[in-house]
Structure 1
Amino acid sequence: MRVIIFFDLPTVTVDERKAYSQFRKFLINEGFIMMQESVYTKIALNSTTSKLIQDRIRKSKPPRGLVQMLIITEKQFSGIEYVVGSGQDTIVDNISRLVIL
């Protein structure tokens, strides 16, 4: 099984940035790996272990923001399709859209 954590935390104030950093460090210390920015995953041996992981996340969540948890099987996780596009190297360097106020 996989526990996937999605989070969207505010980072406007100093306290919010500190809470974000602490939560991210907590996830890393718990053995989560980053899939994308604000998406972390961890393998759980069974449903009991996944429930324990979820409980620890609930206790360590920041006071503000959104944290979501999803439990999926390894078979479902292995079905993830990675779609990778090519990077854009074109740099527009002109003033054709410049607005002067």
Structure 2
Amino acid sequence: MKGLNDDKMWEMAEKRVGFRRHFFVYALINIIIISLWFFTSYKDADKGGYWFVFPLLGWGIGLAFHYWAAFHDDLSSIEKEYQKLKEKYQVDEEVDAETKDTSGNTRRF
């Protein structure tokens, strides 16, 4: 990726490592939850149902968003938005400079 400085690369690395840790915890905890279900409710699955699916899917949705944030950081759209804001506020500063007279007082139209 062009134009990345050390700070941006460091931030991207932190996000990716954070996702990997999140995924590891997700996998470990869900293995425990499924094991609990298997050893306690598997024989009576008709009565208790497959309750482990709800935390698995709910947490999985959050994990998917974390993945997207860590690996699909759209820097080009961020740069475009930054340039728009920069242009907007530079224009505002130029207008402010034009409305001030030589003594620094603001002229009223």
TM range (shorter): 0.3 to 0.5
Q: Normalized per residue, which structure has more strand?
A: 1
More helix by share: 2
TM-score, structure 2 length as denominator? Answer: 0.31
What is the TM-score normalised by the length of structure 1? 0.33
By relative contact order (CA 8 Å, sep 6+), the higher-ranking structure is 1
If you compute each CA radius of gyration, which structure gives the higher value, 1 or 2?
Answer: 2
